[in-house]
C-alpha cells in the first residue's frame, strides 16, 4: 500500500516519510533562511496550526482520492474495513447511546494512518504550486510540512497572504479548519529593523511573533534556528 501512496506525496512533506525526519525539515528551513540572507531577501513565514486535523478527515473524499491512486482493490477493502466501515457509541453515566457510523478521522495508532493523512493533505497543499512563494534558483518553495505541521514561505507579505488564503479555502473544502489563535507569522529580514507581516485569515489578524517553536526547535526573527534548551 505504501508503495502506491508515497509516490503521490510531495518531497516538501517530511512527516513519516522514508529517510526523512524533523532534523531534515529543520535543516531545510535553516538553509533557506541562510540563502535568503545571502541574497538580501526577506523571508515571510506562516506557521499553520490545524484544529484536530487527523480527526476531521472526511471518509468519502479520502476514499475517492485512494481510488485514483495505484492501490489495488484488496488493499482498498482493508483500508475501508479498518478505517471507515466503523460505528461508535458514547457512554454517559453508564448508559450507552445507539451505535452510529463514523464519517471522519483516521485511526490513531494504526500504522497506515500517517500515510493516509499525508495523502489527504496533499490535495490541499498541491494547489499552492502555482502561487509564487519563495524563489530560490528558479524553484518555487511555498511550503514545508511535517504531517500537519505546515510552514508557508514567501518573499513578501502579499505573497504570504495569497498562500494563506488558498490554504484556508482548500482546507475548508476538505473539512479541515485552521486554529487561528495558534497560527502565527514571522518576518526574517536583514533589510528592515522592524518588518511587519499584517497577515489575516477570514478577517481575523494572525499574530506576528519574533520567536516560534517548530518541531522542538526555536526559530527567531533574527535568523537563528537552535535547539531549545530552557
pLDDT tens digit sequence for 137-177? 888 899 999 999 999 999 999 999 999 999 999 999 999 99
Q: Strands 184-188 and 207-208: what pairing?
A: parallel
- Residue 137 is classified by DSSP as T
pTM of the model: 0.86
Note whether 221 and 210 are within 8 A (CB).
yes
C-alpha cell belonging to residue 77: 477493502
Q: Give, to the nearest 10 degrees, the angle between helix 157-173 and helix 113-125.
A: 120
What's the CA gap between 166 and 162, in Å, rounded? 6
Q: Number of C-alpha atoms within 13 angstroms, CB side, residue 156?
A: 5
What's the CA gap between 166 and 187, in Å, rounded? 20
- Express each pLDDT in 17-43 by its tens digit: 998 999 999 999 989 988 988 888 899
Average pLDDT over residues 46-55: 94
Q: What angle do CA 148, 134, 10 make, to 5 degrees?
A: 40
* Measured torsion, CA atoms of residues 16, 18, 23, 24, in degrees rounded to the nearest 10: -110
Percentage of the chain exceeding pLDDT 70: 96
Q: How many CB atoms lie within 10 A of CB 88?
A: 10
- What are the phi and psi torsion angles at 168 (to 5°)? -60, -45
Residue 152, CA distances (Å) to 141, 183, 186, 230 in order: 9, 11, 10, 27
Q: At a CB cut-off of 8 Å and minimum separation 6, what does 229 contact?
A: none
Note whether 144 and 15 are within 8 A (CB).
no
Q: Which pLDDT score, from 0 to 100, does residue 225 have? A: 62
Residue 59, CA distances (Å) to 6, 113, 123, 176, 181 in order: 19, 13, 14, 13, 27
Residue 167, CA distances (Å) to 92, 129, 190, 207, 208 in order: 37, 11, 28, 17, 18
Q: Which pLDDT score, from 0 to 100, does residue 103 have? A: 80
178 DSSP β-pair partners: 50
Q: Which pLDDT score, from 0 to 100, does residue 171 have? A: 94
Amino acid at each position: 500500500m505504501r508503495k502506491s501512496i508515497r509516490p503521490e506525496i510531495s518531497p516538501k512533506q517530511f512527516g513519516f516519510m522514508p529517510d526523512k525526519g524533523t532534523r531534515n525539515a529543520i535543516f531545510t528551513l535553516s538553509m533557506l533562511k541562510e540563502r535568503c540572507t545571502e541574497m538580501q531577501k526577506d523571508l515571510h513565514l506562516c506557521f499553520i496550526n490545524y484544529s484536530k486535523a487527523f480527526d476531521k478527515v472526511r471518509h468519502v473524499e479520502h476514499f475517492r482520492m485512494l481510488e485514483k491512486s495505484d492501490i489495488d482493490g484488496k488493499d482498498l477493502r482493508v483500508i475501508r474495513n479498518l478505517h471507515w466501515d466503523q460505528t461508535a457509541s458514547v457512554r454517559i453515566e453508564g448508559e450507552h447511546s445507539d451505535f452510529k457510523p463514523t464519517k471522519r478521522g483516521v485511526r490513531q495508532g494504526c500504522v497506515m494512518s500517517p500515510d493516509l493523512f499525508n495523502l489527504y493533505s496533499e490535495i490541499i497543499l498541491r494547489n499552492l504550486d502555482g502561487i509564487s512563494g519563495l524563489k530560490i534558483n528558479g524553484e518555487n518553495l511555498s511550503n514545508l510540512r511535517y504531517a500537519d505541521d505546515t510552514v508557508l514561505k514567501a518573499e513578501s507579505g502579499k505573497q504570504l497572504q495569497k498562500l494563506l488564503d488558498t490554504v484556508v479555502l482548500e482546507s475548508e473544502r476538505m473539512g479541515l479548519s485552521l486554529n487561528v489563535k495558534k497560527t502565527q507569522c514571522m518576518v526574517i529580514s536583514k533589510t528592515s529593523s522592524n518588518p511587519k507581516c499584517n497577515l489575516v485569515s477570514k478577517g481575523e489578524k494572525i499574530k506576528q511573533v519574533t520567536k516560534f517553536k517548530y518541531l522542538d526547535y526555536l526559530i527567531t526573527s533574527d535568523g537563528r534556528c537552535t535547539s531549545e534548551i530552557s
